[in-house]
Amino acid sequence: MSMYIGEALAGDGNEVAHIDLMIGSKDGPVGHAFASALANQTAGHSNLLAVLEPNLAVKPSTVTITKVTIKNSKQAVQMFGPAQAAVAKAVADAVEQGVIPKDQCEDLVIVCGVFIHWEAQDDKKIYDYNYQATLDSIKNAMGSKPSVDEVVAGKDKAAHPFRGF
């Protein structure tokens, strides 16, 4: 398979984390999206590599992309700080846990969409929730979760937390 797709939500309040991600080969559609995300920056949507610390980027190489327009310096620091660090740690832990095979890390890339609410305040919650949502998204992607049967079984009783009714 050339593309794995994962999604997860963790936490609550303004620090809630919602991650959408794609994992795939560098020479496939995810590799193309990865390169485009790094090469095509726009105002309010600064995409960045996930690093554990400067000069220690994770493998598979991961680009974090903003799912909302960054409107101020506080939100930018939250994206470049706790959210980026959380995504990086989750990727590294997924490799360590064998969720992402270590022998595929140079061939794969990850595009990770990160949501930072404009009223988020607690950096520790931003980190914790984004870590959990990213790790869950990776596990879902690599495990092909949910299955089609799970989707069909759950569709009529699903209650989206933000649907408004």
Are the beta carbons of 125 and 24 closer than 8 angstroms? no
To the nearest 10 degrees (0 to 180), the angle between helices 123-142 and 84-96 is: 40
Nearest to 114 by CA among 44, 62, 65, 81: 65
Nearest to 28 by CA among 60, 55, 52, 56: 60
Residue recorded with tokens 């520790």: 124
Nearest to 113 by CA among 36, 2, 7, 10: 7
Going 45 to 47 to 50 to 52, the CA torsion angle's sign is negative
Active site residue 160: no
Catalytic residue set = 18
